[in-house]
């Protein structure tokens, strides 16, 4: 995933409360033990990237640079562009393997 979109575009998510609590807990432990991700990247994925999208949830003393918002385009146009770039990168990567 990091090679495809870069660590600044990855967020940690879970299916809690729909998944059982112990399942989510086990998945979090597995991710924490994963040696493919260094500590700074893990911090970005676990918290920092989400705060860039939702800066109002930062702690009072925390300064967060909000993610850029492209208000000149409609949501549909932005979503279509984002999907085509991701899909194109995936297709190119599959061709090169």
Task: For residues 2 and 18, give the distance between their C-alpha atoms in angstroms, rounded to a whole number.
Answer: 27
The DSSP secondary structure of 30-41, one letter per residue, reads HHHH-TTS-HHH
**For 48-96, how does the pLDDT look when each residue is reduced to its tens digit (9 = 90+)?**
888 888 888 888 888 877 676 655 667 677 777 766 766 677 777 778 7
Say what the pTM is: 0.53
**For 28-50, how does the pLDDT look when each residue is reduced to its tens digit (9 = 90+)?**
788 788 788 888 888 888 888 88
Domain ranges of the chain: 2-66, 70-97
């Amino acid at each position: 995933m990091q090679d495809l979109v870069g660590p600044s575009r990855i967020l940690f998510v879970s299916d809690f409360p729909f998944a059982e609590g112990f399942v989510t807990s086990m998945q979090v432990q597995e991710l924490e033990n994963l040696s493919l991700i260094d500590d700074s990247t893990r911090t970005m994925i676990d918290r920092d990237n989400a705060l860039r999208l939702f800066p109002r949830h930062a702690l009072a003393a925390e300064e967060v640079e909000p993610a850029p918002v492209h208000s000149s385009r409609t949501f549909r146009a932005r979503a279509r562009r984002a999907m085509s770039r991701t899909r194109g990168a995936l297709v190119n990567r599959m061709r090169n393997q």
